[in-house]
C-alpha cells in the first residue's frame, strides 16, 4: 500500500515536469514520438554529423539538444580495451580489463540457447558498464571454408543452428540498453581479398544458407544494429549495397535500426547515401592497424554529403531516414528509461564464461576410455604443447582483448591436480613470436631459430615415462592462423605439430590430444591418438574448463558446429576449386551444398561430422514417432522419441532433428538440421524429447519465384546424435 502511494506521488510530481519537457526528453513518451520531436529540432549540419565517426569508435550526438554520443566496442566475445581517440593503439587505461567469454564457435558448440542467453546477458552488462551503447557483434557469417581466419568469431556452418543461438544472445544484450550490431552482412566468408572480392552466389544459396541467421537476428532477436561486410555482392560493396540493405534488410525484413559500416568498408558517397548505409566508421583504415589521421570531416557521409545536400543533389528525405534510425538507436540505448547500470570484470561473468566453455568443449574421440584421467591411478602427468601456456585472449584482430586474467590450460590442470600427482610441462613445439597487437611502438620480437626436432625429442623422451600425456596444441591467434585479415594456408596444424603428435602417441599409448582452435584441422594421427578433444578459444576461464573436462568433473556435452573434413578437398569451397577466387570474384559453385550438405551429397565420410560429440556416458535413442503421417502445408507436425542415459554418469545429449525432402522440383540437400534439444539425463534416466515444426522447416527458396515454397510430397524426419549418426527415422507427407 505504502509503495503504491510513493509511486503515485512521484508521478504526481513528475507529470507536470514532463508536461514542460520536450517530447524527445520525456522517457515516458513513445520512441517514435521522441524521434520525430528530436529530428525536427535538428539542423542539417547536426544531422550529417551523426552519420559518421568522430573518433575510432564513436560518433557525435547533438550536444545542443543534450543527445549523447554513440560509442561502439568490439565484440563479439569481450569488451575491447579503450584505444586512443584517433589511433588503434591502446589508451593504457587501468580500468578496462574485461572478462573474455568463449569465442562464438565455442558458444555454438554448446548447442544450448540458454547458454547464448547467459552469454548475451553477461557481455551486455560488461558493455553497459563501460558505457558502450553498441556492441560490435555477434558474428554469424557461415563457415564455408576451414581456412577462413575469422571462423572463430562466428557460429558454424549451419544456418538453423546459428539462427537459434544468435537470437537469445541479442535479446539479452539489448536488455541492458546496449544494441547488438550483428556482423558482417553478408557473404564475408573468407578474409583473403576481403576488402573487394565480389561474391557470386545464387539467390537460393543466399536465402537458404547465408542469410537465415541474419534474418533471425533482425526479426526474432530484434537487433537494433547491423554491420555491413567489407566484400562485394552483385559488384557493390556490402556497406552500400542496394540489394542487401535496401531491398532485403530494410524493405523485406522491415529492419528499423542502424546499418553501421565495417571499419573502412565505405567507398562511395552517392552509393552510401542511396543504398542504405546509416553510419560510417573507419574510412581510410583497414579496420585494424593503419589509418589516415583525423579525417573524419572528409568521410563519405561527412562534408561530401553536406555539399550534395546544399546544392540539391541529395534529398532531405533520405537524410532524415538515416537520422531517424540513429535517434531510434539513442532512445533505445543511451536515453532509454530504466536502463540498468551493468557490471564489469566480475567473478560472476568469469563463472558464466566457464560454464559456457564447459558446455562447448567437444570430446571427439575417446578410445579405450583414456578420458577422463583417473587421478586415483595416474601419478605422473606430462603436459606438452605451446597452447598449454600461450595467451589466447589477445591477438587475432579486432576481437583481441585486454583481460582481467586468463587461466591457461597448464594452470588449470595444475590447480585441479594439486599435489595428487606430478605435473610436468615441456613445450614440444613453438610458434614464431609476434609483436603485441594494439600497442604503440610494439617491440618486434627478436628473430630466433626454432629447433623443432630438438623440441620434439625432448617431449618424446619425457612422454616415455609419463602415465598419461596431455598434448595441448592446435592453432593460435597469430597472423595466418585464427586471425582477422588473412586466411590459413592449409588444413594442417602448423609448427610441425603433426610429427610431434604422431611421435608422442608412439612413445605413450595414453595420449590425449587437446586442440585449441576456431577451425577444423587435419588429423593424420587420429588413428594413433586414442583421445581427442576440441577445446576452442574459451577466454578467461579456459584452463579451468579444460581441466574440468579432462579430469571428469564435467561430462562433455558439446557438439561440433561445423564439419571436420578428412581432407581440404572434401570441403565444398575447395572441391570445385572456387576458393579463394581470382582476387576480383569468387563464385560459390557449391550453391546450397555447404558443410555437411556437401558431404552428404557427395557421400564423403568426414573425419568428424557436424553435430558430433561424445560423452563419458552413453545414450540410447528410442524409436521416433509422429503425431500425424499426413499434414497440410498449414499444419504443424510433432515427432517424439525417448532418450535414455544408459551409462553410470550423469550427462547431457544434444538430440538433433534433420528433415529430408524425398522429392522436390529443385535439388535439395539429403537432410537439413531443423531442430535440436539438449537434454540433461541422470545416470539411468529416460526422457521424452519432442520436436514440433511447421512448413518453414520443410520449405526451400525458389530463385525463379523469388519466394519460399512448401511442396507437397514425401518427407522423412531423421533423429540422431550427429549428422552422420542418425539413430531413428519416420516418414510423413505433405498432402496436396
Ligand atoms: C572488423 C569488424 C570490427 C571493426 C572494428 C573491422 O576490421 O571487420 O568486425 O568490428 O574492425 O574494430
Give tens-digit pLDDT for 600-620. Answer: 999 999 999 999 999 999 999
**pLDDT at 286 exceeding the cut of 90:** no
Ligand 1 binding residues, C-beta < 6 A: 74-75, 136, 183, 262-263, 287-288, 398
Ligand 1, residues 74, 291, 399: which to mutate, most atoms within 8 A of Cβ?
74
Residue with cell 512521484: 10
Dist. CA 169–CA 353, nearest whole Å: 13
To test the pocket of ligand 1, the residue of 77, 149, 262, 401 to mutate (highest count of ligand atoms within 8 Å of its CB) is: 262
| Other beta carbons less than 10 A from residue 226's beta carbon | 26
Distance from C-alpha of 718 to C-alpha of 693, rounded to nearest angstrom: 13
Q: Which atom of ligand 1 is nearest to the CA of 74?
A: 10
How many whole angstroms from 529 Cα to the centroid of ligand 1?
A: 38
Average pLDDT of the chain, as a whole number = 96
Q: Residue 4 — pLDDT band, cuts 50, 70, 90?
A: low
Residue 36 gets the label, from left (phi > 0), alpha (psi -120 to 50) or beta, of: alpha
Position in ligand 1 atom list of the atom nearest CA 485? 7
Beta strands in 324-467 (DSSP E): 362-366, 380-384, 422-426
* Ligand 1 atom having least distance to the Cα of 188: 8
- b (16+ CB within 10 A) / e for 299-313: bbbbebbbebbeeee
Distance separating alpha carbons of residues 320 and 523, to the nearest angstrom: 55
Task: Tell me how far the alpha carbon of residue 585 lies from the centroid of ligand 1, in angstroms.
Answer: 22
Whether the predicted pLDDT of 95 surpasses 90? yes
Cell numbers describing residue 130: 563501460
Segment 587-590 long-range contacts (CB within 8 Å, at least 24 positions apart): 587/200, 587/201, 588/144, 588/199, 588/200, 588/201, 588/202, 588/205, 590/144, 590/205
pLDDT of residue 212 exceeding 70, the answer is yes
CA 136 to ligand 1: nearest atom: 10
Q: Is the dihedral of CA 123, 128, 131, 137 positive or negative?
A: positive
Reported as a pLDDT band with limits 50, 70 and 90, residue 1 is very low
Residue nearest to atom 8 of ligand 1 (CA): 262
Residue minimizing CA distance to atom 6 of ligand 1: 287
User: Strand order in 422-426's β-sheet?
Assistant: 362-366, 531-534, 511-516, 468-474, 380-384, 422-426
pLDDT at 12 over 70: no
For residue 8, what pLDDT is reported?
57
Phi, psi of 294 (to 5 degrees): 45, 55
Tell the residue nearest (CA) to atom 11 of ligand 1. Answer: 287
Which one of 192, 197, 226, 287 would you pick to mutate in the ligand 1 pocket, going by the greatest count of ligand atoms within 8 A of its CB? 287
Give the β-pairing of 225-228 and 258-260: parallel
Q: Whose CA is nearest to atom 12 of ligand 1?
A: 398
Task: Compute φ and ψ for 513, nearest 5 degrees.
Answer: -105, 120
- All three cell numbers of 367: 578410445
Closest approach atom of ligand 1 to CA 286: 7
Top pLDDT among 635 and 13 is at: 635
Nearest ligand 1 atom, CA 230: 8
Q: Return d(Cα 186, Cα 238) in angstroms, integer.
A: 7
State residue 406's pLDDT score: 98
Q: What's the pLDDT at 118?
A: 98
Give, for ligand 1, the residue of 182, 228, 288, 396 to mutate: max count of ligand atoms closer than 8 Å to Cβ: 288
**Among 90, 183, 397, 401, which is best to mutate for testing ligand 1, by the most ligand atoms less than 8 A from CB?**
397
- Ligand 1 centre and the CA of 56: distance in Å? 11
Does the pLDDT at position 30 exceed 70? yes
Region of poorest pLDDT, from 34-48, 71-85, 286-300, 650-664: 286-300
pLDDT number for residue 15: 55
Please give the distance, rounded to the nearest whole angstrom, from the Cα atom of residue 261 to the centre of ligand 1: 9
d(CA 193, CA 65): 43
| Among candidate residues 301, 336, 282, the one with its CA nearest the CA of residue 47 | 301
**59 neighbors 328 (Cβ within 8 angstroms):** no
Average pLDDT over residues 260-266: 98
Measuring from atom 7 of ligand 1, which residue has the nearest CA?
287
Q: Which atom of ligand 1 is nearest to the CA of 139?
A: 9
Asked if the model's pLDDT at residue 9 lies above 90, the reply is no
Bridge partners, 74 (sequence order): 136
How far does residue 260's CA lie from ligand 1's centre (Å)?
11
Distance 120 CA to ligand 1 centre (A): 19
The reported pLDDT for the residue numbered 288 is 82
CA distance 623 to 174: 41
The tens digit of pLDDT for each residue in 381-418 reads: 999 999 999 999 999 999 999 999 999 999 999 999 99
Percent of the chain surpassing pLDDT 70 = 97
CA of 696 to the centre of ligand 1 (A): 33
Domains in the chain with CATH codes? 32-332 (3.20.20.300), 349-432+448-563 (3.40.50.1700), 619-734 (2.60.40.10)
User: Who's near 94: CB < 8 A, 6+ residues apart?
Assistant: none
**169 SS3 class:** helix
The rounded Å distance from CA 427 to ligand 1 centre is 33
Which three-class secondary structure state does DSSP give residue 33? helix
Is residue 561 pLDDT above 70, yes or no?
A: yes
What residues are labeled active site? Answer: 262
State the Cα–Cα distance between residues 595 and 286, nearest whole angstrom. Answer: 30
Task: Kindly report the protein residue whose alpha carbon is nearest to atom 3 of ligand 1.
Answer: 398
Residue 170 Cα to ligand 1 midpoint, Å, equals 18
Distance CA 535, CA 75 (A): 21
Residue 282 CA to ligand 1 center (angstroms) comes to 9
Is residue 184 reached through a cis peptide bond, with omega within 30 degrees of 0 on the bond before it? yes
Minimum-distance ligand 1 atom for the alpha carbon of 75: 10
d(CA 484, CA 203): 27
Q: In the structure, what pLDDT confidence band is assigned to residue 7 with cuts at 50, 70 and 90?
A: low
Amino acid at each position: 500500500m505504502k509503495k503504491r502511494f510513493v509511486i503515485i506521488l512521484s508521478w504526481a510530481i513528475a507529470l507536470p515536469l514532463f508536461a514542460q519537457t520536450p517530447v524527445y526528453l520525456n522517457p515516458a513518451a513513445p520512441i517514435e514520438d521522441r524521434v520525430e520531436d528530436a529530428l525536427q529540432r535538428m539542423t542539417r549540419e547536426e544531422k550529417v554529423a551523426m552519420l559518421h565517426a568522430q573518433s575510432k569508435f564513436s560518433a557525435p550526438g547533438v550536444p545542443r539538444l543534450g543527445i549523447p554520443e554513440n560509442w561502439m566496442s568490439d565484440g563479439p566475445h569481450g569488451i575491447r580495451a579503450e584505444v586512443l581517440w584517433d589511433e588503434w593503439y591502446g589508451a593504457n587505461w587501468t580500468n578496462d580489463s574485461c572478462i573474455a567469454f568463449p569465442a562464438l564457435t565455442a558458444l555454438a558448440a554448446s548447442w544450448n540457447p540458454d547458454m547464448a542467453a547467459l552469454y548475451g546477458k553477461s557481455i551486455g552488462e560488461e558493455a553497459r558498464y563501460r558505457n558502450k551503447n553498441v556492441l560490435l557483434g555477434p558474428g554469424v557469417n557461415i563457415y564455408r571454408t576451414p581456412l577462413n581466419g575469422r571462423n572463430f568469431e562466428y557460429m558454424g556452418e549451419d544456418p538453423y543452428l546459428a539462427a537459434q543461438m544468435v537470437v537469445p544472445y541479442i535479446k539479452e544484450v539489448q536488455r541492458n540498453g546496449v544494441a547488438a550490431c550483428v556482423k558482417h552482412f553478408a557473404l564475408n566468408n573468407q578474409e583473403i581479398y576481403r576488402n573487394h572480392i565480389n561474391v557470386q552466389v545464387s539467390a537460393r544459396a543466399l536465402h537458404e544458407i547465408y542469410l537465415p541467421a541474419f534474418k533471425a537476428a533482425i526479426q526474432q532477436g530484434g537487433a537494433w544494429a547491423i554491420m555491413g561486410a567489407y566484400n562485394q555482392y552483385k559488384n557493390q560493396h556490402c556497406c552500400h549495397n542496394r540489394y542487401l540493405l535496401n531491398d532485403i534488410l530494410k524493405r523485406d525484413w522491415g529492419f528499423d535500426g542502424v546499418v553501421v559500416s565495417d571499419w573502412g568498408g565505405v567507398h562511395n558517397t552517392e552509393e552510401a547515401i542511396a543504398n542504405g548505409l546509416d553510419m560510417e566508421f573507419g574510412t581510410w583504415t583497414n579496420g585494424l592497424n593503419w589509418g589516415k589521421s583525423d579525417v573524419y570531416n572528409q568521410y563519405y557521409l561527412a562534408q561530401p554529403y553536406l555539399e550534395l545536400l546544399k546544392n540539391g543533389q541529395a534529398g532531405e528525405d533520405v537524410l532524415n531516414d538515416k537520422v531517424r534510425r540513429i535517434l531510434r538507436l539513442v532512445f533505445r540505448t543511451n536515453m532509454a528509461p530504466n536502463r540498468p547500470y551493468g557490471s564489469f570484470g566480475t567473478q560472476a561473468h568469469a563463472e558464466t564464461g566457464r560454464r559456457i566453455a564447459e558446455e562447448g568443449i567437444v570430446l571427439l574421440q575417446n578410445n579405450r576410455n583414456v578420458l577422463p584421467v583417473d587421478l586415483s591411478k595416474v601419478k605422473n602427468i606430462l603436459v606438452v604443447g605451446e597452447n598449454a601456456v600461450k595467451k589466447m585472449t589477445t591477438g587475432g584482430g579486432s576481437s583481441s582483448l585486454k583481460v582481467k586474467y586468463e587461466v591457461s590450460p597448464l594452470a588449470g590442470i595444475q590447480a585441479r591436480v594439486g599435489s595428487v600427482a606430478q605435473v610436468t610441462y615441456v613445450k614440444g613445439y613453438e610458434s614464431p613470436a609476434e609483436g603485441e597487437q594494439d600497442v604503440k611502438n610494439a617491440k618486434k620480437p627478436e628473430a630466433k631459430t626454432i629447433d623443432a626436432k630438438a623440441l620434439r625429442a625432448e617431449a618424446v623422451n619425457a612422454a616415455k615415462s609419463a602415465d598419461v600425456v596431455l598434448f595441448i596444441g592446435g592453432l593460435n591467434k597469430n597472423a595466418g592462423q585464427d586471425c582477422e585479415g588473412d586466411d590459413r594456408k592449409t588444413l594442417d596444424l602448423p609448427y610441425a605439430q603433426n610429427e610431434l603428435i604422431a611421435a608422442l602417441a608412439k612413445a605413450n599409448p595414453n595420449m590425449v590430444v587437446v586442440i585449441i582452435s576456431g577451425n577444423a584441422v587435419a588429423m593424420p594421427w587420429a588413428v594413433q591418438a586414442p583421445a581427442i578433444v576440441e577445446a576452442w578459444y574459451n577466454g578467461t576461464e579456459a584452463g579451468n574448463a579444460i581441466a574440468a573436462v579432462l579430469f571428469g568433473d564435467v561430462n562433455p556435452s558439446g557438439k561440433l558446429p561445423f564439419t571436420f573434413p578428412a581432407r581440404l578437398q572434401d570441403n565444398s569451397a575447395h572441391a570445385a576449386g572456387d576458393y579463394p577466387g581470382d582476387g576480383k570474384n569468387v563464385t560459390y559453385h557449391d550453391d546450397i551444398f555447404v558443410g555437411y550438405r556437401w558431404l552428404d551429397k557427395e557421400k564423403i565420410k568426414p573425419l568428424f561430422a557436424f553435430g558430433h560429440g561424445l560423452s563419458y556416458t552413453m545414450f540410447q535413442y528410442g524409436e521416433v514417432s509422429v503425431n500425424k503421417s499426413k499434414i497440410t502445408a498449414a499444419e504443424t507436425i510433432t515427432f517424439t522419441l525417448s532418450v535414455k542415459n544408459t551409462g553410470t554418469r550423469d550427462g547431457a545429449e544434444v538430440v538433433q532433428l534433420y528433415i529430408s525432402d524425398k522429392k522436390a522440383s529443385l535439388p535439395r540437400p539429403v537432410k537439413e538440421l531443423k531442430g535440436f534439444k539438449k537434454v540433461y539425463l541422470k545416470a539411468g534416466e529416460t526422457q521424452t524429447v519432442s520436436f514440433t515444426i511447421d512448413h518453414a522447416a520443410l520449405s526451400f527458396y525458389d530463385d525463379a519465384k523469388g519466394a519460399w515454397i512448401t511442396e507437397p510430397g514425401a518427407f522423412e524426419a531423421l533423429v540422431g546424435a550427429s549428422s552422420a549418426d542418425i539413430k531413428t527415422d519416420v516418414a510423413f507427407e505433405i498432402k496436396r
